Amino acid sequence: MKRKNLWAPWRIGYIRGLVDKNECFLCRIIKTPQDDDKNFVLWRTKNCITVLNRFPYNNGHLLIAPLRHIPDLDSGADEELLEMTKLIRDAQKALTSAIKPHGFNVGLNFGRCAGAGLPDHLHIHVVPRWNGDTNFVRVCSDTYLISQSLTELLDVLKQASAQSGLPLGGSY
């Protein structure tokens, strides 16, 4: 049987980022509010930022992070941690309205060995899931199929947020 290749050229940016000693990408995004659409920022609140993951596990994969560059929950102020939790709730509401997932994975990774691609800036993953979304491509070839562009998804989530009265740059 002849082997076939599945190409995912967008992954090279992620791979290079693992070895480069560049500035934290979340801090770069936090410092450049004028580029929010280009950086796929969904919400900015008093203490946090919510962005679309550029290297998602699934369509709608969001990252919620404090504005401060802190590595773990112990370093977080109660106000930041509470706001992050509220943003998880609001992200689920916006994603449910916009793309109708059947469920969610919500999680934190601490340290590279635990899967943290950015171990020094605390962030929460909110990943929408659908019944049957683990298909043969993912199982057999370790490749993710993402069904919507980040630009289109950002627009849909902003519309859903506005209709639901969710953060959109406000605060709690």
Question: Strand 62-66 and strand 124-129: pairing?
Answer: antiparallel
pLDDT band at 58 (very low <50, low <70, confident <90, very high): confident
Please measure the distance between the N-terminal and C-terminal CA atoms of the chain and give it in whole angstroms.
Answer: 58
pLDDT at 121: 94
On the question of pLDDT at 130 being above 60, the answer is yes
Enumerate domains of the chain plus CATH numbers. Answer: 23-162 (3.30.428.10)
d(CA 82, CA 92): 16
Amino acid 19: pLDDT: 56
Which of 14-18, 109-113, 123-127 shows the highest mean pLDDT? Answer: 123-127
pTM: 0.77
Given the residues 61, 69, 121, 123, select the one marked as catalytic: 123
pLDDT digits (tens, 9 = 90+) for 141-150: 566 667 788 8
Nearest to 63 by CA among 47, 80, 48: 48
CA distances from 23 to 54, 112, 138 (A): 16, 17, 31
Buried b (16+ CB within 10 A) or exposed e, 17-56: eeeeeeeebbbebbeeeeebeebbbbbbbebbbbbbbeeb
Q: Are 141 and 135 in contact (CB under 8 A)?
A: no
For residue 110, the tally of other CB atoms under 10 A from its CB is 13
121 belongs to the catalytic site: no
Strands of the 103-107 sheet, one edge to the other: 41-44, 48-52, 62-66, 124-129, 103-107
Question: Could you tell me if 127 and 58 are in contact, meaning their C-beta atoms sit under 8 angstroms apart?
Answer: yes
